[in-house]
Structure 1
Amino acid sequence: MLQRKENIIQTKTEAFSARIVNMYRYLVEVKHEHIIANQILRSGTSIGANTAESRNAQSKIDFIHKLSIALKEADETEYWLKMLNSGHYITDRQLQSMMNDNEEIIRILTKIIKTSKSSLVP
């Protein structure tokens, strides 16, 4: 079996997606919230899906594009987390924990995108 080198952004986005899925279940089953739960499930798991897709990008520009979509989804996820907190569906502590992970992912994606753009031939 082919073993890939550890990819920190992939590892972090997969772990974050798992947290989002668990949060979705909590929101639906315990808080009976469906609308924002569906939104955060879509955006929060899309971060990892687009990051995974970037591994098989057809070009450097395609790679940057896929990671840029992941970055946009991370920004949207931040918005939904704040809405869940302001609607009292998640506590300040839950918000901060999820925001810390999401902000770390945003920092890593931003760095990868900037580095990749700087290596493009003008």
Structure 2
Amino acid sequence: MKEQLKIRFKNFALSVIKLCETLPRRNSTFTISNQIISSATSMGANYRAALRGRSTAEFLSKLGIVEEESDETLYWLELIVESGLANSEQVDPLWKECNELLAIVVSTINTTRKNQKTSKS
């Protein structure tokens, strides 16, 4: 599962990069493209860092960053559609995948916290 998620995060980031390459060249596009590429690539990088965490606290901290970056990526996807830079058909698959990855990360955080409390009891 961990290896599959690493691949999903990387493929998601690559898909975001490809989307940005298709956007019209405008001043606003450069800012949005830079921001979404940064947040989308950070998701996978921090997930990998979480897997190398030396403690549960470090693992949870890195997953918290993944959660934040995922939410930020969703924001930029919304702006891309609502500003007319891309249509929803182009963005919807990315939106869906980002939401799925976010749900997995949130579930992992919650399960880890629950297990951490249970082991302390």
Deviation per residue, 1:47-84 (Å, 9 max, x gap): 00100111110101100110110010000000000000
Going by fraction, where is helix more abundant, 1 or 2?
2
**1:107-122 alignment runs, 5 A limit:** 107-120=103-116, 121-122=119-120
Is 1:93 matched with 2:89? Answer: yes
Task: Give the superposed CA RMSD.
Answer: 1.4
| Inter-partner Cα distance in structure 1 for 2:39 and 2:53 | 21
Q: Which runs of 4+ in 1 moved over 6 A?
A: none
- Contact kept, 8 Å, 1:9 with 1:108, in 2: the verdict is no
Deviation at 1:24, TM superposition (A): 2.3
Deviation at 1:6, TM superposition (A): 5.2
Q: TM-score, normalised by structure 1?
A: 0.88
* SS of equivalent to 1:34: helix
| Inter-partner Cα distance in structure 2 for 1:61 and 1:16 | 26
Deviation per residue, 1:79-117 (Å, 9 max, x gap): 000000011111111121111000110111011111111
Tell me what 1:70 maps to. Answer: 66
* SS of equivalent to 2:54: coil
- What is the aligned counterpart of 1:104 among 93, 100, 103? 100
- Contact kept, 8 Å, 1:47 with 1:70, in 2: the verdict is yes
What are structure 1's unaligned runs of at least 5 residues? none
What are structure 2's unaligned runs of at least 5 residues? none
Aligned residues: percent identity? 25
Tell me what 2:4 maps to. Answer: 8
Deviation at 1:8, TM superposition (A): 2.8
